[in-house]
Structure 1
């Protein structure tokens, strides 16, 4: 029985992935921020007679301290983690900060996805075929870039700008992790599911909210369609340390967005920002 940790595991792609894994006999550690969604997933597990294989956590993953506490609890509870799925994301039209002073998109989409693989690296390395599956914007439009002089976008914030920077940062996180831990059996997969109807419209104000809902109904893939390729990747991780896929199609890792020097630079910056929360 595999143990699979899923952030954003109580909604959208994460919830459907959790349900499929529970149905196949795996243990799922699902992380979400809302009680109602967690209760719905627990009801799903009950219908599958899998309550004993669902470990549900309500955690603010935008908090560095809460992320560390969650990871410490998992390391105490599970000697082996077979897979880590990084799926937690929330679009913020306006700039707000966490209680720790980080811009919220940066905190959840970048810092959290830097921290969890580091904090869970040891239980992952004990698995037979460990994999980190990062659901992100890899291979997407080249408009995003890393704002090295203003990573938290204090001077010029935009929800799309923050999201696109996060997508580019996640490419670099994959490059840096794979290079640093190439001696392990952990495989890192960057996966862009493209446009999936996961309730993306909710953070927007009207009339944009209605427009996004209509676009989703017309053009977005259903969650049920997006999950099977992810299940395949968890069952049969790639052989290379790093793989990038855009809805199943390989992304060229020679692209400038995967520059190894930029990856190490970002890793260093994030390491300094979270130094007090990383294991020695």
Structure 2
């Protein structure tokens, strides 16, 4: 029996590779991205088994719109895979006033996770896989979550990854009695699209990194296993197939509650 999966950032890199693999095994896939050309290409490659939804998920309003459409069009969703990110050498702010990386790499993943709980809970073994690089020990600047005081691309990405770890903690705590499992996933250094806007030095460094990175095809099997056979625990974390400890101080319940309060204030909820 075929399943239905939603993939943010699904037209490039790991998201696109996973979408193709899911279609090949007979599943339905909804991919969300910003580029209609890439979306049409993926739909054509999959002979219509993939559905493309155009959206700029760095905007809170777009996340809410997409969630409403998905809930209306797909009453049962078996899995949500969160891959969307866009890196910038220089700090940028969205039209809604949020730092771009914070908005896309954290707020979007929060809004999509909680927004799709309804159709996920109707699936037999629902799972959310957040591809965000869990377990990194970068300190959280609680008084500067949006890197307004000092912006550095690498620091901003690592810190936002920490926020996703805490998102997983809070989601699992709130929904531990339900069927949805939350998985934090680290693909390791992978030759993805490295979508972003970079200064020349950063662009050159990323090209070198990409040339030495493993292909997307090395990552997809681990994701397929997690989607096909989700872990039993409400929250788990993996570096490819190696399970990480989610009971360390990096996954603090107090910190996750603190982040939830700050996020609610920012979103006005």
What residue number does 2:75 align with?
79
Task: State yes or no: 1:124 paired with 2:120.
Answer: yes
What residue number does 1:35 align with?
36
| Pick aligned residue for 1:215 from 209, 214, 235 | 209
Q: Does the CA-based 8 Å contact 2:135-2:250 persist in structure 1?
A: no
**Residue 16 and residue 82 in structure 1: after superposition, are their counterparts in 2 closer, same or farther (change >3 A)?**
same
Aligned to 2:250, the other structure's residue is in SS state helix
The alpha carbon displacement at 1:78 in A equals 1.3
Aligned to 2:200, the other structure's residue is in SS state coil
- Please list every run of 5 or more consecutive structure 2 residues that lacks an aligned counterpart in the other structure: none
The runs of 4+ residues in structure 1 deviating greater than 3 Å are: none
**Residue 164 and residue 79 in structure 1: after superposition, are their counterparts in 2 closer, same or farther (change >3 A)?**
same
Q: Does the CA-based 8 Å contact 2:135-2:162 persist in structure 1?
A: no
- Whole-Å Cα distance in 1 between the matches of residues 55 and 264 of structure 2? 22
Q: Deviations over 1:2-51 (max 9, x none)?
A: 110000000000001001111111110100011222122122112xxxx1
Identify the range of structure 1 (159-168 vs 101-110) with the bigger mean alpha-carbon deviation: 159-168
Identify the range of structure 1 (174-183 vs 198-207) with the bigger mean alpha-carbon deviation: 198-207
- Whole-Å Cα distance in 2 between the matches of residues 211 and 273 of structure 1? 34
The two structures have a TM-score, normalised by structure 2, of 0.96
What residue number does 2:246 align with?
253
- Whole-Å Cα distance in 1 between the matches of residues 10 and 182 of structure 2? 19
User: Aligned residues, how many?
Assistant: 268
What residue number does 1:45 align with?
46
What does 1:1-280 align with in structure 2 at a 5 Å threshold? Answer: 1-46=2-47, 51=48, 53-140=49-136, 142=137, 144-200=138-194, 203-218=197-212, 220-275=213-268
- Please list every run of 5 or more consecutive structure 1 residues that lacks an aligned counterpart in the other structure: none
The alpha carbon displacement at 1:202 in A equals 5.6
- Whole-Å Cα distance in 1 between the matches of residues 193 and 58 of structure 2? 19
- Whole-Å Cα distance in 2 between the matches of residues 160 and 175 of structure 1? 23
Aligned to 1:68, the other structure's residue is in SS state helix
Q: Does the CA-based 8 Å contact 1:202-1:209 persist in structure 2?
A: no
The two structures have a TM-score, normalised by structure 1, of 0.92
